Structure 1
């Protein structure tokens, strides 16, 4: 795959003088996003005991996710127009302000507002981190970058709950938010050192795209906010009909948004996003659908461990974290693939392993096998690790010009949106199968898990066959595109 990058003349080591600041900044940016999620989950009981508002606890997470997705959708276009330094200044400022507001808040409403500012800042940061990978690293170095970042996620999964507990015991839950402030300052210094100056269009040498379309920015922002709101409040729906209608309304708003955006002068999304006939479009669908299916693990695995096997919160968290550790290990396997042919083999193998991991989880619930339950997380993690970075890298480096900025920045946001929608879809499946009874005092019981838990995971294993099949089509398209690029380079 022929790739143009300003970093091609640099030595390949990630921590060489030319790359150290950028590598450390990406690690800190991704790590901050990951740890914030784990830490907030761990200290939520202390927050509710101190501030009250158990009926509004949902918004501690939803306000963050809603604003993070909104920021991620806007970041690619902002980076194209202004470069990365100005957005990073805004993002780090919002994250610092939100962390301070949440950490010092005397009410749950104030904490929710702080989480919203945190979410917008973190959403921009994670989108910028992935958007900067093609700017800072050539294609042949990128596999090691993705493997390193997956290691950061695994480390966050390992130390997040423990660090939150220590901070809470040594001071209070407020420390979990206030600790962000020195980290944000360090992140800004590193990014200011590593970031290329100027806008993405100016640096690339590509002329700005000419379009005869209109802008309609107000309409697009309205549709964007509407779709994000609907798709992140799915968890508040109390009946299957309301849940289904909320999902459909959110998807309809998103579909109209993409159609209008594709013909706009300054686009928010890649022109080919979600267009099945294109390589980028098919790839974005795979990222989205894989995240939709993966949501079931995020929602139920830790809770199943506690309820079904009487594990402590920490024990169940580390069983679930087996996925993150396995993801990291197999990301390094993927990064060391000896040839592009082997990479493409990993690409199509990964989704199959994810489906197998889902099915194994279902079988472990039928047989009450804790060992198989833990092993299933490792198998699913192996699937993600083998294929995820190859998929994202292929999409990033196939896109050209300002499309590369839009594709690179939007991929983590598509994943977050998929998890949000997947949470709603999983809830709908759980209600229909009897795993969850709306209005019940207890969310899950051993009897309900024994009766319906396996079916929920078998259903998601079956759904995972859709992106697995699409990945095989994507593999063929990648081979054709890369063969064509090689012939063009030789000519």
Structure 2
């Protein structure tokens, strides 16, 4: 393949948004919007869902299984795209996503709801991955960075619409309509994608082999914690955590010895720059899972409407994106200080939430403001560190594995979400979250949950310190 050298400064937004590339841009942005809105719709409507069909003890499983299914489907999407081409691949992802939406809309109980969420995650993960995979095929190289920025910006904007859509359906007690509304939208999107996308397949490079064993170990680590969360005894819950740790250790060993890896070389070697970068990223993402539980606490403990609760919880995303834009300007020693500051900001947010969330009763303006500011701090903590952690992960990866590093960033992020919600669900269930109509028990679970997030933030503080020390030693 002949290398092409095109100047990024020649790229203009008009090349992406208008002209020959506009139809493909619309399709890719539309796929990102569908996946992003679905995530926030579900989080906002979930308190209403458990009120009707039960399954409060499985609350965290909704995010855990959705994200885990997205990880596994994302891993095979490259092969599907290479084998079937763009048109059929997007059609398959849309069909699976619509089927998952149908199952969730009709779910009579929580186990069926979880089946639907898993199917949704499979379709959504395929769609999300296809959108990014198509960039290198659908655009000339000079437009790649613009295309990535378009999809990233679309994701951020779409995340703001999810609480509105989910909140409206929950306000009128028709949450099933929220999932059902995704079906015709997905059908229209799939038809548009079929019309506008090229029937490409042969022109794509062969998909990389899949590290099946590591993916199964990763999935097993998440599921072990989730299954442990169903136990009423500390022994059962603790056993799930132990099994999960064993799976993770086996995964790390295999990544360091096997020829076929899920992550770049050295990523699972304790003490390496890559390992420490991924570790800090995972710990920070773990804490951001507070966003998933906040709609429940805001509605049940503070009497807020689903719409308002959804938007207050979404402040985490706003804090993240705003701080990330601000932090991206820093380089050198200032960049190091920002990476160190991020976990401290996150710790402050989690501690405030641990104190104020259990103050149940009708939330007045002052308490609502404090909760909102704490959630912004939580998001800002990861936003300050995030662009630089991504840069470190790419900088310290061998040139031959840059593509693997890019996909590993997505895998690490989704794994941290899935594993974090599983652990958070275990902690919450063990401390009263699954107790029905008992504000005292629900408040107690919020204390323990945010204390757990605070502990993760403390671990991120020490891990980021180790990372910066290693960076200083390797600096020229």
TM-score (norm 2): 0.76
Residue deviations 1:198-237, cap 9 Å, x none? 3389xxxxxx9xxxxxx99675565455334324545434
How far off is 1:189 after superposition?
7.1
Q: Residue 182 of structure 2 is aligned with which of 176, 183, 193?
A: 176
| Closer, same or farther: CA 223–294 of 1 in aligned 2, 3 Å | same
- Quick check: 2:164–2:307 contact (8 Å CA) kept in 1? no
Aligned alpha-carbon RMSD (Å): 4.5
Residue 66 of structure 1 deviates from its aligned partner by: 3.1
Structure 1 residue 344 displacement after superposition: 3.8
Aligned to 1:212: none
Identify the residue that residue 412 of structure 2 maps to in structure 1.
414
CA distance in 2, matches of 1:243, 1:420: 17
Distance 1:196 1:348 in 2: 46
Cα distance, 1:376 vs structure 2: 0.5
Query: Cα distance 1:85–1:334, how it changes in 2: closer, same or farther (>3 A)?
Result: farther
Equivalent positions of 1:379-418 (< 5 A) are 379-418=377-416
Residue 161 (structure 1) aligned with residue 155 (structure 2)? no
Structure 1 segment 201-280 matched on structure 2, within 5 A = 219-220=213-214, 222-280=216-274
CA shift for structure 1 position 174: 1.6
Shift of 1:319: 1.5
- Equivalent residue for 2:153? 148
- The answer for the alignment partner of 1:457 in structure 2 is 450
Over 3 Å counting, the alpha-carbon distance change for 1:170 and 1:465 in structure 2 is closer
- The question of whether the paired residues in 2 share the 8 Å contact of 1:82 and 1:198 is answered with no
- Within a 5 Å distance, the mapping from 1:117-156 to structure 2 comes to 117-127=119-129, 148=153, 151-152=156-157, 154-156=159-161
CA contact (8 A) 1:31 1:156 kept: no
The correspondence for 1:199, drawn from 205, 209, 216, is: 205
Unaligned runs of 5+ in 2: 361-366
Mark the CA change 1:282 to 1:119 in structure 2 (over 3 Å): closer, same or farther.
Answer: same
Where structure 1 has 5 or more consecutive residues not aligned to the other structure, the ranges are 202-207, 209-214, 485-491
Q: Are 2:39 and 2:162, in contact at CA under 8 Å, matched by a contact in 1?
A: no
Residue 69 of structure 1: how far off its partner (Å): 2.5
TM-score by length of structure 1 reads: 0.74
The separation in 1 between residues aligned to 2:198 and 2:332, in whole angstroms, is 34
CA distance in 2, matches of 1:221, 1:305: 35
* C-alpha deviation, 1:387, in angstroms: 2.0
Take 1:143 and 1:91, find their aligned partners in 2: how far apart are those partners?
A: 20
Secondary structure in structure 2 of the residue aligned to 1:408: helix
Distance in 1 between residues matched to 2:375 and 2:412, nearest whole Å: 23
Q: Which residue of 1 aligns with 2:432?
A: 436
- Separation of aligned partners in 2, 1:328 and 1:175: 28
Structure 1 388/219 Cα, relative in aligned 2: closer, same or farther at 3 Å?
closer
Q: 1:171 to 1:367 in 2, by over 3 A?
A: closer
Residues 430, 456 of structure 1: 8 Å contact kept: yes
Give the direction of change, closer, same or farther, for the CA distance of 1:227–1:120 in structure 2 (3 Å limit): same
Deviation, structure 1 residue 380: 1.4
The one of 464, 467, 482 equivalent to 2:460 is 467
Q: Conserved in 2, the CA contact under 8 Å of 1:48 and 1:54?
A: yes
Cα distance in 2 between the residues matched to 1:104 and 1:82? 23
Q: Residues 440-489 of structure 1, C-alpha deviation per residue, up to 9 Å, x if partnerless?
A: 333x514652x6644542443233121123223333444665x55xxxxx
Distance in 1 (alpha carbons) for counterparts of 2:290 and 2:135: 29
Structure 1: distance between partners of 2:42 and 2:318:
21
After TM superposition, give the deviation of residue 357 of structure 1 in Å: 0.8
The answer (yes or no) to whether the contact 2:358–2:447 under 8 Å persists in 1 is: yes
> What residue in structure 2 maps to residue 16 of structure 1?
15
